[in-house]
Amino acid sequence: MSDQSSPQDITIVPQPRRDPEVRAITIPDIVEAMASGLRDFQAAPRFGLAFGAAYAAGGAVIVLCVIGIGWSYLAYPLAAGFALIGPFAAVGLYEVSRVLSHGERPSWRGIFAVVFAQGRRELGWMAFVTLFVFIFWMYQARLLVVLFLGFHATATLRDFVTLVTTTPEGILFLIVGNAVGAALALVLFSLTVVSFPLLLERDVDFVTAMITSVRAVAKSPGPMISWAAIIVVELLLASLPFFLGLLIVLPILGHATWHLYRRIVAPAQA
């Protein structure tokens, strides 16, 4: 009797998928990522300017709409919260940097083909997470307005600015509101800082991507929080001249985020 097993008797045990390896980074890594982001912007400026213009136009339209319908008190929370969706808005820029890193020339067709293909899968769920946090922030902002400024009428944006900068209730609103916003921004940053580029590059689920992102922040808390602060400050400053600064700031930050991701997450093992 033969001891050899037939092909039908062989059972293939699937190997568990390895979680992406996360590496520690330092402040010099952030500086080098910013430099690489600037080089990518200079190498393909039309893509950066287009995505930056779309992001800036979206912010301007939203703020103008709330002012136009008399909800001027939501203009500041909207402008501040608009930075929360920056990682999603920069997905196309990640693809541009990925293509450039392979020595290829990016094209609109190729970029949108990749982004739309991923958007129908796990990238869409990450977009939902980002949108959910943004909506939650706006709900909290409106609640804080009612709690601190509910008895004060503000017909215009100028009246609202005067109210929050010259009254005790307004100053308290700014302090509490900015604290809540900072906490939400840190949570969303931890969930998305490497999630979007990871989903764009690899076939992983969005939960794994978020866990990997949180692990990256926990691995290098100081540098990562510094990177978060750089993003928030630059986006807010770029939004001051009616979002026009985002034409330059968003693409540079987007490209830099891709390069920082490549430093944080080790290449996939074959």
Per-residue pLDDT of 45-61, as tens digits, reads 999 999 989 888 887 88
Phi, psi of 265 (to 5 degrees): -95, 120
Contact 80, 236 (CB under 8 A): yes
- Where helices occur in the chain by DSSP H, the ranges are 27-43, 45-68, 75-81, 86-89, 91-101, 108-119, 122-149, 157-166, 168-192, 195-201, 206-219, 221-239, 246-264
Mean pLDDT to the nearest integer, 7-19? 54
Res. 270 pLDDT band, cuts 50 70 90 = low
Q: How many CB atoms lie within 10 A of CB 193?
A: 24
Share of the chain above pLDDT 70, in %: 90
d(CA 140, CA 268): 40
* Rounded distance between C-alpha atoms, residue 255 and residue 265, angstroms: 16
Contact 181, 137 (CB under 8 A): yes
The percentage of the chain sitting over the pLDDT mark of 90, rounded to a whole number, equals: 30
Q: Which pLDDT value is given to residue 125?
A: 85
Alpha-carbon gap, residue 153 to 145, rounded angstroms: 11
Angle between the N-to-C axes of helices 221-239 and 206-219, in degrees from 0 to 180, rounded to the nearest 10: 110
pLDDT at residue 5 is higher than 70: no
> What integer pLDDT is reported at residue 14 of this predicted model?
46
Average pLDDT over residues 106-124: 80
Poorest-pLDDT segment among 30-34, 134-138, 150-154, 159-163: 150-154
CA triple 237-249-37, angle to 5 deg: 140
